Structure 1
């Protein structure tokens, strides 16, 4: 029998990346594919336990769907915005599983370790003759079971392991004597009622809910609680950049290649991109556009010039941009302007007070609170799986090539003479100068490139999740199958050099931010220029790129649709047949 009949493929994570990867591999002919997830429902960060009424996703309509399943449009807002709610997206994931992945997901299974073991035994692996031994604990019964896979796909993403800053964890709050609930934003949906009970409505003389952090989750929660009549205070040093316009922008602008052309990519493939990013005039046009777009957002959201809400990075350099639509969706900004959310910024919380129901700021000030929500980000979801409780047979992040390492010797010679990248923000994280990732294309650890038994989907930061994860899934399928048409490095050294080149580019493009993200979400970034990045994956498979069409003058304005990649399986099959 072929490996399609024999190979057991395990996928860790049932978010969007895990679901489309499983479906693609099954469609390619693999018979033994299963997903492990610690959640009781599919969706990952959009599973039923993590969404709540009023939560709106940060993507525009059509950017969080797959080519084989239409996504029912949500109701229009009063301003004409079309945006999915978290519950809409969770229902979409449930429908996808019902139609394409019945009986393929093992729910409530939290992976606690991954080991490389000799085939048929528990000894240390010899050469490439090994399997992946996965230990998973049932979160309901606490029973630990072991499963073996010939190939493994990591789809755990970067938003599943809460990060608690030193001095701010729930345990440290209890030790300091803080009496109210202290939760991470990832637990907000499941513990919302606990917060509502702890902080009574302001109209009844209730206390204060404190939200720490300036990311989307923090602002969403602050707005949600304030909208329920609670007194809310929010503390941050900087807040995510926002995009907004007084009217819904046309589809060709928000769903075409216009924004991507104005964001420099590691490779400038068109004459327009070369003009925009390597000439003085082009640079002025690019930065003028992004500055104007950010100004428009502030004006649309009615953010005063002296407001702490302007403590956001420049949109051009930022990796995070909260889409507020036409402004009607900007509830958080409206509530801040109305004084219903109190903002303290710039400020940093250092600990809980031992003498009062309060937190202590770095300057010594006390901020009183009856409950605290930590919107403080996430740790890598890979740490616990590969480096937690490591035994002699466990494989570590460094051994597999998932961790960071010192810069490649050739990195000092990499240069991108882009005028748009001059006058970049200063580095504030010293580690950025000495550490780099080595994941080829953001999909395969360079050290493991020749084995074709391990891949990652969902670790690339992008705005069009559906298109990105589906294209990556096809790349992984060809990689696992050993397709001759898939262009790959011929050696580990070549893969390491390529990954190092891309890491150097990310340090150039996002000098202060890409190292701030955790390992499981920073293998690559393509916030605005995701079409170019995905064209690279299509080109690796020797498939047509720039599928939205257009000529030399019109290509930036063609609407991109995930249906463009609906027949990648058939296209790959045709190539496979022609090369057999």
Structure 2
């Protein structure tokens, strides 16, 4: 089907799904459905609700360009504030009629003869679409630690990405396994309520101070009365974030490690301070930011454990030195499976090819959006598109898809599929650039990599570089077809 009545199916009602719904409607497309597996919009911001969860991008940059919020009270926002903003955006822009909650996707299969996607849902429906947008993002599947005896624990065993609404940690003995983002954000908050908090960490990571500050009331009032002032404020932040590729800038790297070392120095106990001091360059792991994390280890009820975990028992955790620490709650702050992207759903493309099989050596895509053999499948925040503000990157990606569809409509084309040569050339150049980012190869064994060892999440250039890469596209890199 060609034109504004193309049947468009969007998977996920997180930031990418909200952007898609709005931008496709504004472009005049009349048949757009957004399928959301959960009972609310917001994506990871409604699934994850652990104490202390917040965004590590300044909130005026982590906002929809088409619905700037003049009332953000601080430079960074918390999970409840962001989720409320997502819901308010859907309300204000009247996107609810396009969104189907509690409707996940079980499978999607490309029909070569009819040039369309046949999609089955978790509610038992079969839908047909000309265009599928995978707006699943990176954080849709939690990663549990592979520790012996995990299922034997008789207390509460939870993951930060699936924090129960009714969990009460007051006066409890709590173990937190992991030392990355969710641990850094949750430990200071858990420590305020718990009787005892054991922080089990395998590898210390740099945690830099967060430039968090309140937005003055008079400035908020100016933003409310003068949209140009709000836009100018956001533009100033974007013009700082946008052109920077921080992991390749030696000055930024050095300054970050200095700031991290200063932050660590607030820890009173020398052994704890040494245990939290990284031995890898900043940027080797995902950058982390907090003003409360290191001071939390000065609390008398917080203890750092650096010995390896040997097993979990019904009563607690045993480390390699044979010591068992009994706890009431184990919190697995062990992140997400981030190397699957669209393949978390079984996609079957041309000639019966499985996306899982195509990506056996690691996910790859052309400009992070399309992948060979899967016509009219467009990914938001797909392989190697992690840079800057997720929301701004998704807006670039949706704009790119709309430009491609406009050209397809003009040329009477039903489907496009990136040519293998174009995708291979793009990814070869991308991986060459990634090879030049030294800190990503400093032996951290981080989640940037697929099991094959290829870095599949990171974009090695700046956010503005990506913006320019997807501007003014043409159909030359694609095989095209008509029904």
Partner residue in 2 for 1:227: 192
Match in the other structure for 1:3: 3
1:360 corresponding residue in structure 2? 318
Is the counterpart of residue 150 in structure 1 residue 123 in structure 2?
A: no
- Give the counterpart of 2:370 among 444, 468, 493: 444
> In structure 2, what is the equivalent of residue 192 of structure 1?
167
Map of 1:5-20 to 2, 5 A cutoff?
5=5, 7-20=6-19
Q: Secondary structure of the equivalent of 1:480?
A: helix
- The counterpart of 1:351, out of the listed 308, 311, 320, is 311
TM-score, length-scaled by structure 2: 0.79
| Structure 2 CA distance for partners of 1:523 and 1:318, relative to 1, 3 Å | same
- The aligned counterpart of 1:311 is 278
Task: Quote the residue 2:20 is aligned against.
Answer: 21
With 378-387 and 62-71 compared, the bigger mean Cα shift is at 378-387
Cross-structure match for 1:525: 458
Give the unaligned 5+ runs of structure 2: 216-232, 476-483
8 A Cα contact 1:43 1:94, kept in partner: yes
- TM-score (normalised: structure 1): 0.67
2:48–2:160: 8 Å Cα contact kept in structure 1?
no
Inter-partner Cα distance in structure 2 for 1:497 and 1:186:
36
| Pair 43,19 (structure 1): closer, same or farther in 2 beyond 3 Å | same
**Gap regions ≥5 residues in structure 1:** 77-81, 119-124, 139-143, 266-276, 278-282, 325-329, 406-435, 543-580
C-alpha contact (below 8 Å) 1:350/1:360 kept by paired residues: yes
Measured at CA, do residues 335 and 442 of structure 1 come closer, stay the same or move farther in structure 2, by a change above 3 Å?
A: same
Distance 1:219 1:187 in 2: 17
SS in 1 for 2:62: coil
- Counterpart of 1:44? 43
Asked if the contact 2:242–2:463 (Cα under 8 Å) also holds between the matched residues in 1, the reply is: no
RMSD, aligned α-carbons: 3.7
Could you tell me how far apart the structure 2 residues matched to 1:440 and 1:348 are? Answer: 40
- The alpha carbon displacement at 1:2 in A equals 4.1
The aligned residue for residue 417 of structure 1 is none
Asked if 1:242 corresponds to 2:167, the answer is no
Checking the alignment, whether the CA contact within 8 Å between 1:59 and 1:323 is kept in structure 2 is no
Query: 2:35 & 2:464 partners in 1: Cα distance?
Result: 30
Query: Shift of the alpha carbon at 1:135?
Result: 1.8
CA displacement 1:426-454 (0-9 Å, x = unmatched):
xxxxxxxxxx5421111111444xx4x11
How far does the alpha carbon of each residue in 1:25-84 deviate from its partner, in whole angstroms, 9 at most, with x for none? Answer: 22222111111111111100112x5336653322212121111112243334xxxxx221
Shift of 1:455: 0.8
Matches of 2:326 and 2:22, distance apart in 1: 50
Equivalent residue, structure 1, for 2:230: none
* Alignment coverage as a number of residue pairs: 441
Partners of 2:23 and 2:268 lie apart in 1 by 45
Q: 3-state DSSP class of the match of 1:320?
A: coil
Cα distance change, pair 331–443 in 1 and its aligned pair in 2 (3 A): same
Pairwise CA distance, 1:16? 0.6
Q: Structure 2 vs 1, CA of residues 496 and 241 (structure 1 numbering), >3 Å: closer, same or farther?
A: same
Q: 1:18 to 1:396 in 2, by over 3 A?
A: same
Corresponding residue SS for 2:163: helix
- 1:95 maps to what in 2? 88
Q: Find out whether 1:130 has 2:110 as its counterpart.
A: no
Q: For residue 34 of structure 1, what is the aligned residue in structure 2?
A: 33
Once the two structures are superposed, residues 268-304 of structure 1 have per-residue CA deviations (whole angstroms, 9 ceiling, x without a partner) of: xxxxxxxxx7xxxxx5x45543433433444578896
* Deviation string, structure 1 residues 407-433 (Cα, Å, up to 9, x no partner): xxxxxxxxxxxxxxxxxxxxxxxxxxx
Q: Give the Cα–Cα distance (whole angstroms) in 2 for the partners of residues 313 and 469 of structure 1.
A: 31
Give the whole-Å Cα distance in 2 for the aligned partners of 1:216 and 1:338. Answer: 20
Q: Secondary structure at the match of 1:161?
A: coil
Q: Could you tell me how far 1:515 is from its partner in structure 2?
A: 6.5
Q: State the distance in 2 between where 1:290 and 1:34 align.
A: 43
Output the CA distance in 1 between the equivalents of 2:363 and 2:445.
11
